[in-house]
């Protein structure tokens, strides 16, 4: 990156979000690490970034709380003069078969994974339009394209991210702002580590690459879309899944 870019990464304290924070910082951005409750984990990410010579700040707020989102992001814009990169990564799962799914499990996943992305994107968009430069990168999922039993809520949210992103891309392309989706497949995170070995073997059998992805695989794709090299790519869904879904 030719100048210091200001980046906000939601859900940046662990897993894929942590890898994205570290990669963007390595590329020269000042990264704001968003988290809700695990401050110790966020501080650890900050320490690792600073140990590598990068710059990072902590930015606690719940993406599902519109007032908290607006206040936090306005604060960043006031302090730094703008926001150049927004990575909407925060997400949760509340898995269960649809026939037995509780209303609150549907509502919680949609409010965090989909509505939270809307709040954060809306909060940065006017400033990006005024500065005529911006990168909005939303973290989707292969599940949003192919579905998954027991994840109707999660798949609906991730599919919604794709439609949202394509619409935003068309609205702001003339202002030199791109909006894209990075859709991971099965990635080695806390979520996959707890799966039984038999389940892991079944999943691996569906992946032509023969391995789960690493958080860094996703972070590399995000960093590319955040760069000047990707200025003519917008409204795109970039799948990072080892061939699990070939389109």
Query: Could you give the residue numbers annotated as active site?
Result: 154
Distance (Å, whole) CA 120 – CA 64: 9
Which neighbouring-strand residues pair with 58?
Answer: 33
Q: Does residue 161 contact residue 113 with C-beta atoms inside 8 Å?
A: yes
| Token pair of 175 as six digits | 């202002």
Distance (Å, whole) CA 102 – CA 69: 27
Q: Does residue 4 contact residue 57 with C-beta atoms inside 8 Å?
A: no
Q: Does residue 48 contact residue 22 with C-beta atoms inside 8 Å?
A: yes
Mention every residue, 6+ apart, whose C-beta is less than 8 A from residue 61: 34, 36, 68, 69, 71, 72
Evaluate the CA torsion angle 35, 39, 43, 45 in order and state its sign: negative
| DSSP annotation string for 23-65 | HHHHTT-EEEEEESS-HHHHHHHHHHHHHTT-EEEEEE--TT-
Q: Does residue 63 contact residue 86 with C-beta atoms inside 8 Å?
A: no
């Amino acid at each position: 990156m030719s100048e210091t870019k200001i980046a906000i990464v939601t859900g940046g304290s662990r897993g894929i979000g942590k890898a994205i924070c570290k990669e963007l910082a390595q590329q020269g951005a000042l990264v704001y690490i968003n988290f809700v409750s695990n401050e110790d984990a966020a501080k650890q990410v900050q320490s690792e970034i600073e140990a590598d010579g990068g710059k990072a700040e902590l930015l606690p707020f719940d993406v599902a709380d519109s007032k908290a989102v607006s206040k936090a992001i306005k604060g960043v814009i006031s302090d730094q003069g703008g926001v150049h990169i927004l990575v909407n990564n925060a997400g949760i799962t509340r898995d269960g078969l649809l026939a037995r799914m509780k209303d609150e499990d549907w509502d919680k996943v949609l409010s965090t994974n989909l509505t939270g992305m809307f709040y954060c994107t809306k909060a940065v968009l006017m400033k990006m339009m005024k500065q005529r430069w911006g990168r909005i990168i939303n973290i989707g999922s292969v599940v949003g394209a192919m579905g998954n039993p027991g994840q109707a809520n999660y798949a609906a949210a991730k599919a919604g991210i794709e439609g949202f992103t394509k619409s935003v891309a068309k609205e702001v392309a003339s202002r030199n702002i791109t909006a894209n989706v990075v859709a991971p497949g099965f990635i080695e995170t806390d979520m996959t580590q707890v799966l039984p070995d038999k389940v892991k073997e079944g999943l691996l059998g569906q992946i032509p690459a023969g391995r789960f992805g690493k958080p860094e695989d996703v972070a590399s794709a995000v960093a590319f879309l955040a760069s000047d090299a990707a200025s003519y790519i917008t409204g795109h869904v970039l799948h990072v899944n080892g061939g699990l879904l070939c389109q």
